[in-house]
Copies of this chain bind each other. A is one copy, B any other.
Amino acid sequence: MSLSNFECPAARALDSVGDWWSILILRDALQGLTRFDQFQESLGVAPNILSRRLGHLTEHGLFERHPYSRRPTRYEYLLTAKGRDFYPVAIALFAWGNRHLPDDEVAMRLGDRVTGRVRSVILVDANTGEEISPANTTLLPGPAAGEVTRKRIAFMKALREQTHEQPD
């Protein structure tokens, strides 16, 4: 099922990524894997699924395929700018996963490469330095906002002004 008819960029982003395997492929690629057999070894995924996912991500502009050997021709998959920009999504997901594990189940953490100190990941507005939260953030209509988006923004605003404000 395609979600691309939604105007929400998060929904469209999910559609261009494809499925969970794609996110794990991107996770690996962001750590430097490029070759089919590397992805396969890392993920333990069936070759036909891996091949389909790499094709999907290439079609959607997250990877570029380059030959790295002739006879037989073999390709490596290099992240494009769009693919590399997926990094904050993978990191936000990683940080959320860890935050809700008991300490003794934490198998890996993100660290500062220079100091080795564990990273504490937050999302901020680069303009103001403010941590982004539901309480200080709102949706604005863009140039392509249709009736559905405008209605949605108005509805969400009305909801917030009523009883359902989520505690932060």
Contact = CB atoms under 8 A, between A and B. Distances in A.
Contacts of A52: none
Q: Which secondary structure characterizes the binding site on chain A? A: mixed
A107 B140 contact: no
Copies, count: 2
Interface in A77-123: 79, 82, 84-101, 103-114, 116-123
A108 B142 contact: yes
A164 to B, nearest CB: 4
8 shortest interchain CB distances as A-B pairs: A9-B97, A13-B97, A7-B107, A106-B142, A32-B159, A111-B140, A92-B92, A120-B126
Interface of A: 3, 7-14, 16, 19-20, 23-24, 27, 29-34, 42, 61, 79, 82, 84-101, 103-114, 116-130, 132-146, 149, 152-153, 156, 159-160, 164-168
